[in-house]
Amino acid sequence: MTDENKQRLDSYIEAVNRRIDIYKNSYGGNSSDHQYEVTQAMWYSLEAGGKRIRPVLAEEFCRVCGGSSEQALTAAAAVEMIHTFSLIHDDLPCMDNDDYRRGRPSCHKAFREDTALLAGDALENLAYRIIADDDKLSAEKKVMLIRELTEAVGIHGMIGGQVIDMYNDGTEVFSDEKLLKMYMMKTSALLRAACRMGCICAGAYDRADDAGNYADRLGLAFQIIDDILDITSSEEVLGKTCGSDAASGKCTYAAVHGVKASEEYAAVLTDEAMTYLERFEDNKFLIWLTEQLLHRKS
């Protein structure tokens, strides 16, 4: 069973990677042009071997809702482009100033800072463009997908969460309420979009709320595990700078409540997430994936 799940996971990752490669050829610049530099930076970060959690969720929710996982590939790639854009901008010197990402120099270290800035801007743009350009999606679906994605990205979603995180510099002790709100915006919002967009691609609009409620809990658990790993893991395993939260005096759930209590809360959130998965038939892979994410080491 685990082998079967692992195979499905790999095939989903391969499928979205292939799609991202196709976009490189159709939207990437010509190698003789200066703008090729930014195209290279965009795909350097896109192809950095992330876990592709968001694309996998979009593909699988599309399948369990009666579509084929291929139908969700445009949405899956779009969400991954948004995620990558956010990582590139997040790593910039004026933000978290992180030199490493996924075991490699972060985008502004591998390229120039201005190149990284524009690569992020261009990825944000391209995410919406590939949805609008997809001939296989109806205009109604395209609009629904773009609404989901823009709402998840904006000031009340991912970007808003990053803003709150900017003020999380040790000068203010965040209440649990504020901390969890920040996690919901910074992490859950885009996972929610991925899951809901998978349902939309399948035409199963009435399943989007259950998928979104699952993603909210998954995102909180995922972020809390991120906090824990920042305390307990090593740079080698994690592929990025460790202990950076503590060094910058950041308030995190794990820092406030300790590793053990945080692991317990992540498990509670995962249980809640599972109750939403139970509303979907053929949910074995999603249950397995959720467990994997809870027990990850990087």
The residue among 220, 95, 109 whose CA lies nearest residue 163 is 95
Residue carrying structure tokens 């397995």: 288
Residue 145 tokens, joined:
């997908």
245: its two tokens: 């939260």
Smallest separation (angstroms) from a second copy to the CB of 75: 14
Looking at residues 92 to 121 of the shown chain, list those that interact with a second copy (rule: CB under 8 A). Answer: 92-95, 112-115, 117-118, 120-121
Provide, rounded to whole angstroms, the least separation between the CB of residue 97 and a second copy.
10
What's the residue count for the chain?
298
| The pair of three-digit structure tokens given for residue 253, joined into one six-digit string | 């759930």
Element (H, E) at 100: strand 100-101
Tell me which residue of 157, 244, 242 sits closest to 192, measured CA to CA.
157
Shortest CB 233 distance to a second copy, Å:
26
**In terms of C-beta density within 10 A (0-12 exposed, 13-18 middle, 19 or more buried), how is residue 7 classed?**
exposed
The residues that bridge with 104 in the sheet, in sequence order, are 101
- Does the protein bind a second copy through residue 37 (CB under 8 A)? yes
Query: Of residues 27, 110, 231, 293, which one binds a second copy by CB under 8 A?
Result: 27
Report the C-alpha gap between 277 and 32 in whole angstroms: 49
Q: Which is nearer to a second copy, 168 or 223 (CB)?
A: 168
- Cα 168–Cα 44–Cα 90 angle in degrees, nearest 5: 10
* Beta carbon of residue 244, minimum distance to a second copy (angstroms, whole number): 16
Helix axes 139-153, 189-201, angle to 10 degrees: 170
CA-based nearest residue to 58, from 43, 47, 73: 73
Tokens of 194: 């991925």
- Piece of 45-53, 135-143, 215-223, 288-296 that binds a second copy (CB under 8 A): 135-143
Under rule CB under 8 A, residue 173 binds a second copy: no
| Contacting a second copy within 250-279 (CB under 8 A) | none
Residue 283 engages a second copy in binding (rule: CB under 8 A) = no
Using CB under 8 A, count the residues that bind a second copy.
52
Among 163, 261, 267, 268, binds a second copy (CB under 8 A): 163
122 counts as binding a second copy under rule CB under 8 A: yes
177 near a second copy, judged by CB under 8 A: no
Please identify, among the stretches 68-76, 152-160, 244-252, 260-268, the one whose residues bind a second copy according to the rule CB under 8 A.
152-160
Q: Which is nearer to a second copy, 51 or 178 (CB)?
A: 178
Nearer to a second copy, 7 or 125 (CB): 125
Backbone dihedral angles phi then psi of residue 101, each to the nearest 5 degrees:
-155, 125
Q: Indicate the helix (H) or strand (E) that contains 293.
A: helix 284-294
Judged by beta carbon, residue 77 or residue 126, the one nearer a second copy is 126
Query: To which H or E segment does residue 105 belong?
Result: strand 104-105
Among 162, 232, 244, 292, binds a second copy (CB under 8 A): 162
Binding residues for a second copy, per CB under 8 A? 27-29, 33-35, 37-39, 42, 85, 89, 92-95, 112-115, 117-118, 120-122, 124-126, 128-129, 132-133, 138-140, 142-143, 146-147, 150-151, 153-156, 159-160, 162-164, 166-167
